[in-house]
Chains A and B, each alone.
Chain A
Amino acid sequence: MQRHIISILIENEAGALSRVAGLFSARAYNIESLTVAPTEDPTLSRMTIVTVGTERIIEQIIKQLNKLIDVVKLLDLSDGPHIEREMMLIKVKAATMSQRDDVKRLSDIFRGNIIDVTPSTYTIELTGSATKIDSFIEALAEHKILETVRSGVSGIARGDKILHV
């Protein structure tokens, strides 16, 4: 079982998202995360899907996605060097001096930004790979995490390789 990041250029039409989501549920494929937003060309959306499967399943996922009429182009980022980023907003209890110091220090170590402060909480914005975000959540284990919001993974190939029409 391998983790793959699949990047898709898809027509920015009503229902395009449900075609992709429906395909995954109908064929019992896993989705770890899915993000979608329009590109610089408003007729196109860029979708990033993180999925897990055997080589055969990943091959089928890619073929089935390509078969969707709305899918214009597709790239398995995991085939080559690439960068992945995910953004997380995390609200942590920070009521005492020692809690506030500790959370601030951990946030600095992970290069997070504290973007909201109340007498009892800190809200931190953190960007990085999914693994880094997992590690930050682990590092905060002894603190009380009140809420986490993750954007899902976005990815892009390194160097000259581009996914465009």
Chain B
Amino acid sequence: MELSGAEILVRCLKDEGVEFLFGYPGGSVLHIYDALYQQDDIKHILVRHEQAATHAADGYARATGKPGVVLVTSGPGATNAVTGIATAYMDSIPMVVITGQVPSAVIGSDAFQEVDAVGITRPCVKHNFLVKDVTKLAETIKKAFYVASTGRPGPVVIDVPKDITDPAIKVPYHYPDKVTMRSYQPTVKGHSGQIKRAVDLLLTAKKPMIYTGGGVVLGNASEELRTFVRHLGYPITTTLMGLGSYPASDEQFLGMLGMHGTYEANMAMHDCDVLIAIGARFDDRVTGKIAEFCPDAEIIHIDIDPSSISKTITVDIPIVGDVATVLQEMNHLLVTGKKQPQKKALDAWWQVINGWRAQQCMSFDRNNTETIKPQAAIEIVHEITAGDAYVTSDVGQHQMWAAQYYGFDKPNRWINSGGLGTMGFGLPAAMGVQLAYPDATVVCVTGEGSIQMCIQELSTCLQYGLPIKIVALNNRYLGMVRQWQEFFYKERYSHSYMESLPDFVKLAESYGHVGIRIEDPKQLRAELERGFAMKDRLVFFDIVTDQTENVYPMIAAGKAHNEMHMSPHSCELPQSPERELS
């Protein structure tokens, strides 16, 4: 069978099992768009900005575990996609991004809409390719999917010059079943000796702590993690990226850790004697002050990426391997071994932890009838959706409140830009999720600042009938910036106030959707219920919230886990909430 490069490209996506292609046409990809027009296998989703194409593909990937696929043109198409590529890179999301390029003959001549896409994306991709020969196109696409979705996943860019997709040049087509690359062979199985040492150490622990991250979600290891945690009876915390990998409603779960983690999770980290980190990378938002991180603990670290091990925190027992595979082996050793956890010490440890829990660090002013508390809005959304929605978020205070108050019991449900912290991520990511699961409830928790960074996608949502529920916590501030300015800049609110906001209700309506503004706390539940009942409509909830609310607890950047600022509503302040910080 002889096909043109454009036909090969589309056919490869079909053979790879791709459902959706998120893209935007332009000069360098016209041959590809012409090939797309003549087939029905791949559904192309036309976004309104290339950044949204990458975020939508990213959301699809996070919810399904399958690589998201993007097609953009050369020049500005590629540069607009970069933010979304970097977002996926920081959170290790599998993605294949096809960028058009000017014809091979004019590369380097500053041609119209030419940029060095391979050069620009190099620092924020797992790998990238420039296709120089149409006969290598199919193999390159296979390699791209293989690299993107194996090992520590990540985005891969394929730059395709226009002449490669020329409809006049036909070559034989064959899509390889698999590829092997001598330079890329990710480790899967962990070292058995190290695993045994780790299990032995875990069973000697008197004050153990389990700290898990996004690797458990990406590695599809939630089941193995649950078995592991329940067998040991140890306390567990997760990072922002790991929420849902262990049920938030479970007794052993201490909540999220880190800068906006719970009092009990952070204190347990600080005081533990054995720490096992699973698919987590000791990010600075998690560790706080490196020198005072888990000062008394021996540390075990399971990660598929060797470069994550001992990068910031030196570990005692490193295990390189796929999280699910390593946990299976550990579970087997725990079940078949004779040694049991230190029951008496563990009971004492739980007593200490329950003392910390009694602080009720997540309390807030629930009885306020004057203004809507953002935390209350999240809690009500949780109740209305029975805790079973896919929740995407943007970046800022609303992101932290969604993470703290939604209570995720299942993996792949919490979809946010943790590493790069990309405002504008939420709405397009929700589109990718809703396309993957048309019948699911998909909620985008956002703020009036973030939503305006990709608001044009309301148009895409109309075109494809995506009934996303946008919960905008509108406090007329860039809330997290305002919070830092309050704490660390003596309340000098430099450019954190959002002036001249649009009427979001009318805006939603002008895009053909439903808009609901909620200002009265007494109406909050009824109005949210009314909107969520509209199953087939996109509803934009413009929720006017308390302008002064802050995210608590908070560990200031560079401070230790036991130096937390607590909410004024928690039971008892463990230390004075001083506002002078580094």
Inter-subunit contact B126/A69 (CB<8 Å): yes
Closest to A165 in B: B182
Q: Are A70 and B305 in contact, CB atoms less than 8 angstroms apart?
A: no
Chain B positions 306 through 320: 1 when the CB is less than 8 Å from some CB of chain A, otherwise 0: 110111001000000
B310 in complex: contacting residue of A19, A56, A66, A67, CB < 8 Å: A56
- Residues from chain B with a CB closer than 8 A to the CB of A66 are 306-307
Binds A, one of B62-70, B116-124, B406-414, B465-473: B116-124
Is A60 among interface residues, defined by CB-CB distance under 8 A? yes
* Interface: B130 (CB within 8 A): yes
Instruction: Annotate B106-130 by CB proximity to A: 1 below 8 A, 0 otherwise.
Output: 0000000000001100110011001
Q: What 1/0 mask marks residues of chain A from 52 to 91 whose CB sits below 8 Å from any chain B CB?
A: 0000100110011011011110000000000000000000
For residue B147, CB closer than 8 A to chain A, the reply is yes
- A contacts with B: majority SS: helix
B250 to chain A, nearest CB (A): 35
Indicate if the CB atoms of B127 and A15 lie closer than 8 Å.
no
Q: Closest CB-CB distance, A45 to chain B, in whole Å?
A: 12
Q: Please measure, in the bound complex, the distance between the C-alpha atom of A19 and the C-alpha atom of B305, giving whole angstroms.
A: 18
Q: Which residues of B contact A14 (CB under 8 A)?
A: 130
Min CB gap B373→A, angstroms:
42
User: How many Å lie between the Cα of A15 and that of B159 in the bound state?
Assistant: 13
Known: A14-B130, A22-B122. A72 touches B183 (CB 8 A): yes
- CB-CB under 8 A from A70, the residues of chain B are 127, 183
A15 touches B118 (CB 8 A): yes
Residues in A with CB closer than 8 Å to B127 are: 69-70
- Restricting to B43-99, which residues have a CB under 8 Å from any CB of A? none
Please report the C-alpha to C-alpha distance between residue A11 and residue B183 in the assembled complex, in whole angstroms: 8
B184 close to A (CB within 8 Å): yes
CB pair B182 A60 closer than 8 Å: no
Residues 128 to 165 of chain B near chain A (Cβ within 8 Å): 130, 147
Q: Shortest CB–CB separation between residue B463 and chain A, in angstroms?
A: 37
B-side interface mostly: mixed
Shortest distance in angstroms between A60's beta carbon and chain B's nearest beta carbon? 6
A19, B311: Cα distance in complex, Å:
20
B181 at the interface (CB under 8 A from A): yes
CA distance A62 to B97 in the complex (A): 28
A162 touches B (CB below 8 Å): no
Partner of A67, one of B118, B123, B182, B305: B305
| Interface presence of A18 (CB below 8 A) | yes
A22: chain B residues at CB < 8 Å are 122-123
Q: How far is the CB of B161 from chain A (nearest CB, A)?
A: 13
Knowing A22-B122, A26-B123, A60-B307, say if A69 contacts B182 (CB, 8 Å): no
Cβ contacts A3-20/B at 8 Å (1 or 0 each): 000000011001100110
Contact of A64 among B118, B122, B307 (CB under 8 A): B307
Q: Smallest Cβ distance from A56 to chain B, in angstroms?
A: 7
The residue that B306 contacts in the complex, of A56, A63, A165, with Cβ under 8 A, is: A63
Measured between C-beta atoms, what is the minimum distance from A92 to chain B in Å? 40
Q: Say whether A59 contacts B182, CB under 8 Å.
A: no
1/0 per residue, CB under 8 A from A, across B287-312: the answer is: 00000000000000000011101110
Q: Which residues of B contact A64 (CB under 8 A)?
A: 307
B311 contacts across to A, CB distance below 8 A: 60
From B183, B307, B314, A71 is in contact (CB under 8 Å) with B183
B121 to chain A, nearest CB (A): 11
A165 CB to nearest chain B CB (Å): 6
User: Contacts A15-B118, A22-B122, A22-B123 given: A72-B307 contact, CB under 8 Å?
Assistant: no
Q: Which residue of A lies closest to B181 (CB)?
A: A69
Check A72 against B147 for contact (C-beta < 8 Å): no
Which of A14, A26, A67, A72 has the most CB atoms of chain B within a 10 A radius of its CB?
A: A67
Chain A residues with CB below 8 A from B183, complex form:
10-11, 69-72
In the bound complex, what is the Cα–Cα distance between A18 and B311 (angstroms)?
A: 23
**Bound complex: CA of A165 vs CA of B185, how far in Å?**
13
B307:A67 contact, CB within 8 angstroms: yes
CA distance A69 to B129 in the complex (A): 11
Which partner residue on chain A sits nearest B184 by CB separation?
Answer: A69
Nearest Cβ in chain B — how far from A41, in angstroms? 11
Report whether A63 and B123 are in contact in the complex, using a CB–CB cutoff of 8 Å.
no
B130 proximity list for chain A (CB < 8 A): 14-15
CA distance A72 to B182 in the complex (A): 6
C-alpha gap A2/B184 in the complex (Å): 29
B183-203 interface code vs A (CB 8 A; 1 in, 0 out) = 110000000000000000000
Are A18 and B119 within 8 A (Cβ)? yes
Is A19's CB under 8 angstroms from B122's CB?
yes
Interface centre among B119, B183, B314 (most CB of A within 10 A): B183
Q: CB distance B119 to A69 under 8 Å?
A: no
- Closest CB-CB distance, B66 to chain A, in whole Å? 21
A15 CB contacts on chain B under 8 angstroms: 118-119, 122, 130
Chain A residues, Cβ within 8 Å of B118: 15
In the complex, chain B residues 258-305 whose Cβ is within 8 Å of any chain A Cβ: 305
Cβ–Cβ < 8 Å partners of B306 in chain A: 63, 66-67
Interface residues of A (CB under 8 A from B): 10-11, 14-15, 18-19, 22, 26, 56, 59-60, 63-64, 66-67, 69-72, 165
B residues with CB within 8 A of A: 118-119, 122-123, 126-127, 130, 147, 181-184, 305-307, 309-311, 314
Q: A15-B130, A70-B183, A71-B183 are in contact. List 6 more A-B contacts (CB 8 A).
A: A14-B130, A19-B122, A26-B123, A60-B311, A63-B307, A69-B184
A-B residue pairs, 10 tightest by C-beta: A63-B307, A69-B127, A72-B183, A63-B306, A69-B184, A26-B123, A67-B307, A64-B307, A22-B122, A72-B182
Can you list 15 A-B pairs, Cβ within 8 angstroms, ordered by A?
A11-B183, A18-B119, A18-B122, A19-B122, A22-B123, A60-B307, A63-B306, A67-B305, A67-B306, A69-B127, A69-B147, A69-B181, A69-B183, A69-B184, A72-B182
